[in-house]
Structure 1
Amino acid sequence: MEFSFDEKDFASCCGSTKFAKEMASASPFRSFQDAVSVAKGVWFNSVDVNGWLQAFSAHPQIGQTHAPSVASEASAQGIRKWILCNKMWSKGEQSTALATATGSSLQELSEWNARYREKFGFVFLICAAGRSTDEILAELKRRYTNRPIVEFEIAAQEQMKITELRLAKLFSSRENISSSVDKYSAAKKAEDRISIIGGHVTAASEISTAKLIHHPARTRPPITTHVLDVSQGSPAAGIEVLLEVWRGTQSRPTFGASGGGSWVFQGSSTTDLDGRSGQLLSIVDDVNPGIYRISFNTGKYIPNGFFPYVSLVFEIKESQKREHFHVPLLLSPFSFSTYRGS
């Protein structure tokens, strides 16, 4: 059985116009898992910075049940449908957090959300299943100290979790739904655990997400990266990227010693205008466990910088071979940092 949806349906799941258009173009889908797999590929690989911000802005402010506006080319009837659907979902998603909050805690949340939005330019999104209002507030304060580029990436990951839950609701709303989607009906129960504080405090813990998605087929390589120039506040285009894996008699390179193995070429690329690398590895369901190294030709990008090149070494364990590893580089002339993204 195939499931066909239009642009208005996908706009109710994510406020990015580009996301809705590309998902509608990819419809019909064989299953919910298939749709989620495509959605991740579209969101992380096709939707640009402006599209992310557009999706963030579609979420309600604290105390609201629908966003004030949404940029869409859909018809007036489609927009009304979007507002009705988004209003209904947001109302359910906010219920638990708002029900457990006191007047003073809501006031403090509102004040901190205003600070957050003033600093970052978008609403606060967080995965908050099972968390109290105090815990949510503590996380908001913690993330407030992040650099804007780091927080922007985190917010994009939270948006994808929201989209997954709403896709589950979209599929389960269809009559004669297939058995492959029936097992995701728990997502409807999850809305009672979903919380939206500030912009969109959402739910779907990693455990819940794992139950919803059983390793769908990949739509992108298992190892990806992007580079952000924090000194300019923009993506870093034109940086050469090299991916290698450790091979030899030693299972892993030993710190401070040589011999016993070498780094073996896996793929190379150059970052595009959004700072994203091209394909560094084949699209496979299972990536080979081992020690990997991503190197960036930073000296060519910043000739007068401190680093002639940067190498990031990380390990993929046997138990992680079906996971995705996004290893970005945050770069300036005299410093760099990284983290594991999604």
Structure 2
Amino acid sequence: MSYSGLLSIGEVNQLDLDQFIWLFGNVLEQNTEAAKYVFNNKPFKNALHIIKLFNKYLDTLSIQEQEKVLQQHPDLGSNVKMTPESTREQDGAGMNNLTENDRELLMEFNYRYKEHFGFPFVICARENNSDSVLENVKKRLENDKETELKLSIEEVKKIARLRILDLVWHS
């Protein structure tokens, strides 16, 4: 068993709703409704069970609700106030160490992306670096909105999975 998370599954199952929301309320960026949904499906078998429940929550949302989930994510490489999780993830991907030219390019891509799709570009920063982020945003600008919504939600699932594994011991 890996003990890289903060809590065992037994400890997670003992949390009350407020404690659970405090810990898991940002698994999906600033989305306590998702945490409430998952909490109501206790007891949890393991970290994978919690991951599947967050994914199920995302999959049951309407297109408009999925777009709202995406709109909670900060622009990559921006200087806006971010959650601690987003700050760590973007730092790890080198988004705060971009050259001035790359930062300007990313800001341009972020603007074009948001104008085109109506939500920010979302990618799992922990599975990328600044170069791959720039490549992906440029490439994904060519998608239609339906394709991009699906891709973006899959990226949110990757982010959520890693955040859950940071919180819960897993094997």
TM-score, normalisation: structure 1: 0.41
Partner of 1:94: 90
Describe the shift of the 1:28–1:54 C-alpha distance in structure 2 as closer, same or farther (beyond 3 A): farther
Q: 1:35 aligns with which of 11, 34, 50?
A: 50
Shift of 1:23: 0.6
Partner of 1:137: 134
Instruction: Tell me which amino acid in the other structure corresponds to 1:91.
Output: T
Partner of 1:242: none
TM-score, normalisation: structure 2: 0.77
Give yes or no for the alignment of 1:149 onto 2:116: no
User: Quick one: higher RCO (CA 8 Å, sep 6+), 1 or 2?
Assistant: 2
Instruction: Tell me which amino acid in the other structure corresponds to 1:40.
Output: N
The question of whether the paired residues in 2 share the 8 Å contact of 1:16 and 1:52 is answered with no
Alignment of 1:147-226 (within 5 A): 147-171=144-168, 181-183=169-171
- Give structure 2 stretches of 5+ with no counterpart: 1-8
Partner of 1:103: 100
Partner of 1:288: none
Describe the shift of the 1:27–1:51 C-alpha distance in structure 2 as closer, same or farther (beyond 3 A): farther
Instruction: Tell me which amino acid in the other structure corresponds to 2:88.
Output: G
Q: 2:120 aligns with which of 123, 126, 132?
A: 123
Describe the shift of the 1:65–1:167 C-alpha distance in structure 2 as closer, same or farther (beyond 3 A): farther
Partner of 1:276: none
The question of whether the paired residues in 1 share the 8 Å contact of 2:26 and 2:32 is answered with no
Shift of 1:56: 1.3
Describe the shift of the 1:131–1:157 C-alpha distance in structure 2 as closer, same or farther (beyond 3 A): closer
- Larger Rg, first or second structure (1 or 2): 1
User: For 2:120, what is the secondary structure of its paired residue?
Assistant: coil
Shift of 1:18: 4.0
Instruction: Tell me which amino acid in the other structure corresponds to 2:35.
Output: A
The question of whether the paired residues in 1 share the 8 Å contact of 2:113 and 2:141 is answered with yes
Indicate the structure with greater strand content: 1
Q: Distance in 1 between matches of 2:24 and 2:130?
A: 30
Shift of 1:65: 3.9
Over the matched positions of the two proteins, sequence identity in percent amounts to: 24
User: For 1:126, what is the secondary structure of its paired residue?
Assistant: coil
Q: 1:19 aligns with which of 28, 31, 34?
A: 34
| Aligned-residue CA RMSD (Å) | 2.2
